[in-house]
Structure 1
């Protein structure tokens, strides 16, 4: 009798082994997937934090710097004539998601930048949709929570294109991959 009980117990154990193994394997996969998602969220890029007045060189002649009043920049077309976009003159509503765009063409390239503001979450990355594909840019912000930041990118213009129909939209995404703010052009 002990012999039959032992065989039955062994058979039951062996019959359940694949199911047990599968359950452990599934549990590990689900746990690993959850860990991967959490790790990806932690690794999502965030804007580079800069000091007021700190110059960021995006390319030779294309520099940006931020102050509490807004965005300042030069581009290769006018390196000795700094430009300015205010965040305090009432032209933007930082409580609503928005993106601005300033573009300058020079020697077959487009030097692109603008403000982003008002979105929910933490801005993470920027993409500029063009007639030839997507261009990824970078984000910078002042320390603290100013409620706005600056994006910038450089795009090569296709030969013979004057840039008039080149830009389609600018989208800033948050760290979870959702749209933080967007500007539609075409």
Structure 2
């Protein structure tokens, strides 16, 4: 559930000292740190109503880190004292790991890189840090006592930024919506059900696998939005808003999770490859989607077999290759096709790796 707009003020006041301390450790200058946090909170305020409750801290940290890295690329002045031998990304990794207490996988998602890259940056940063680990612990243990949060100015600029963004969206829609309306209707109407790798509903070029950030909304088909957090899959339909399925629930509720060799696991194990399937009513049709998890490699594609018809699903996964994600079919499933498929044992879903090897297979959850 997104935050109510009135919740922004207490959140900003509560987290202002920690954010300024983190920013100071990154940029090494109190004035620049305050400016960095202020600008970050302006952007957060503009997007506040759309942020799910369990992702606010991630959004704020990611916005702060990205703004710092953009500024670091433009800056040519002296590096922060004590961390001067470190690159900007090395400082980010060390601060997030050893000050913020994030896991390596979380840092990888925030930076949009692999866990291996995070480990490499941490190792090189530790080696380059002047004074070694003891000195680093001392530096990262330092707290900053910032001034009062400039809440009125932040909220005023945040509202102005939100209005500008809304105006830009209206103008863009007016320019492109007319000629593309018929195409958008056909995407869900089944006029080209084999075009799973066509254009996404948001206009971006689509591929079978799409990397998203936590909380990023994706319009799977008209009327259905999907998004991922580190806790699992979220989706909304016209009939049911903000539904959620966690990885543990997916394993516990699955009716027949199995590996690619056809062996059914009577006792679910979240360390083994699994893929689930479920259908949601959507008017006279059904929306088919599911979760995959336990993969040791990134998926190459997902195929759903519906009564002899093969459908290539679109895959959503978080940055950093966490080993799990969501798949969905872009074409609706009619009641007739669904009944025929269930009569043959239900849709079968198979996950393939990049080399074309089947790594997980499962049947539908009813």
For the aligned pair, the TM-score class normalised by the smaller chain equals 0.5 to 0.7
**Counterparts of 1:65-76 in structure 2 under 5 Å?**
65-76=227-238
Is 1:163 aligned to residue 338 of structure 2? Answer: yes
Q: Please name the residue that 1:115 is paired with.
A: 291
SS in 2 for 1:144: coil
Structure 1 partner of 2:351? 172
TM-score normalised by length of structure 1: 0.65
Q: What is the deviation of 1:49?
A: 1.1
Residues 179/93 of structure 1: CA separation in 2 closer, same or farther (3 Å cut): same
Q: How many residues align?
A: 138
Q: Does 1:86 align with 2:246?
A: yes
TM-score by length of 2: 0.35
Structure 1: runs of 5+ lacking an equivalent: 1-44
| Shift of residue 46, structure 1, vs aligned partner | 6.6
Q: What is the rounded CA distance, in whole Å, between the counterparts of 1:157 and 1:111 in structure 2?
A: 6
Provide the residue aligned with 2:311 in structure 1.
Answer: 135
Computed over aligned residues only, the root mean square deviation of the Cα atoms, in angstroms, reads: 2.4
Q: Which residue of 1 aligns with 2:224?
A: 62
Give the greater-gyration-radius structure (CA).
1
SS at 1:161's partner residue?
helix
Larger relative contact order (CA 8 Å, sep ≥ 6): 1
Which has a greater percent of strand? Answer: 1
Q: In the alignment, what sits opposite 1:181?
A: 360
Q: Give the Å deviation of 1:93.
A: 3.3
One of 115, 125, 133 as aligned partner of 2:301: 125
